[in-house]
Structure 1
Amino acid sequence: MAAAKESGRLRAGVLDVALERSGRRGGPPVILLHGFPYDARAYDGVAELLAAEGADVVVPYLRGYGGTRFAEAATVRSGQQAALAHDLAELIDALGLDSPLVAGYDWGGRAACVVAALWPRRVCGLVTANGYNVQDIAGSSAPRRPELERRLWYQYYLHGERGAHGLATYRSDYARLLWREWSPTWDFSDATFAATTPSFDNPDFVDVVVHSYRHRFGLVAGDPAYQPTEDALARQPPITVPTLVLDGAYDTVQPQRKRDEHEPHFPALVDHRVLDTGHNMPQEAPAEFARAITDLWAAL
Structure 2
Amino acid sequence: MQQKTISTDVLDIAYREYGEPDGWPCIMGHGFPYDVNAYAEAAPLIAQGGARVLVPWLRGYGPTRFRSPATLRSGEQAALGADLLAFMDALGIARAVVGGYDWGGRAACVVSVLHPDRVTGLVSGNSYNIQNIARAMEPASPQEEAALWYQYLFHNERGRRALERNRRGFARQLWAMWSPAWQFDDATFERSAASFDNPDFVDVVIHSYRHRYALVEGDPAYAEIEAKLAQQPPVRVPTIAIDGDSDGVNPGTAHHARKFEGLFERRVFTGAGHNLPQERPAEWAQAVLDVRKAAESSASR
Query: How far 1:129 sits from its partner (Å)?
Result: 0.5
| Greater CA drift, 10-19 or 206-215 | 10-19
Partner of residue 56, structure 1:
52
1:134 aligns with 2:130: yes
Q: TM-score, normalised by structure 1?
A: 0.97
Describe the SS at the equivalent of 1:92.
Answer: helix
Query: How far 1:148 sits from its partner (Å)?
Result: 1.3
Question: Which of 2, 6, 29 is matched with 1:6 structurally?
Answer: 2
Describe the SS at the equivalent of 1:10.
Answer: strand
Partner of residue 120, structure 1:
116
8 Å CA contact 2:144–2:251 kept in 1: the answer is no
Partner of residue 192, structure 1:
188
Partner Cα distance (2:206, 2:120) in 1: 32
Partner Cα distance (2:123, 2:95) in 1: 14
1:280 aligns with 2:272: no
8 Å CA contact 1:256–1:274 kept in 2: the answer is no
Report 1:46-85 matches (<5 A): 46-85=42-81
Query: How far 1:8 sits from its partner (Å)?
Result: 1.1
Length, aligned pairs only: 294
Partner of residue 298, structure 2:
none
Partner Cα distance (1:249, 1:30) in 2: 26
1:35 aligns with 2:35: no
What runs of 5+ residues in structure 1 fail to find an aligned partner? none
Cα deviation digits, residues 141-161 of structure 1 (max 9, x gap)? 112222211110010000000
Query: How far 1:123 sits from its partner (Å)?
Result: 1.0
Amino acid at match of 2:105: G
Report 1:143-222 matches (<5 A): 143-222=139-218
Partner Cα distance (2:14, 2:292) in 1: 26
Query: How far 1:256 sits from its partner (Å)?
Result: 2.1
Partner of residue 262, structure 2:
268
Describe the SS at the equivalent of 1:222.
Answer: coil
8 Å CA contact 1:32–1:104 kept in 2: the answer is yes
Question: Which of 275, 285, 289 is matched with 2:284 structurally?
Answer: 289
Cα deviation digits, residues 102-160 of structure 1 (max 9, x gap)? 01000000000011011111111100000000001010011222221111001000000
What runs of 5+ residues in structure 2 fail to find an aligned partner? 296-301
Amino acid at match of 1:84: L
Describe the SS at the equivalent of 1:103.
Answer: strand
Partner Cα distance (1:40, 1:195) in 2: 10
8 Å CA contact 2:244–2:269 kept in 1: the answer is yes
Partner of residue 87, structure 2:
91
8 Å CA contact 1:13–1:91 kept in 2: the answer is no
Partner Cα distance (1:202, 1:226) in 2: 23
Partner Cα distance (2:211, 2:246) in 1: 28
Partner Cα distance (1:13, 1:265) in 2: 32
Partner Cα distance (1:290, 1:189) in 2: 23
8 Å CA contact 1:270–1:296 kept in 2: the answer is no
Partner Cα distance (1:22, 1:297) in 2: 17
Identity of aligned residues (%): 53
Partner Cα distance (2:57, 2:198) in 1: 11
| Greater CA drift, 32-41 or 13-22 | 13-22
Partner Cα distance (2:215, 2:87) in 1: 29
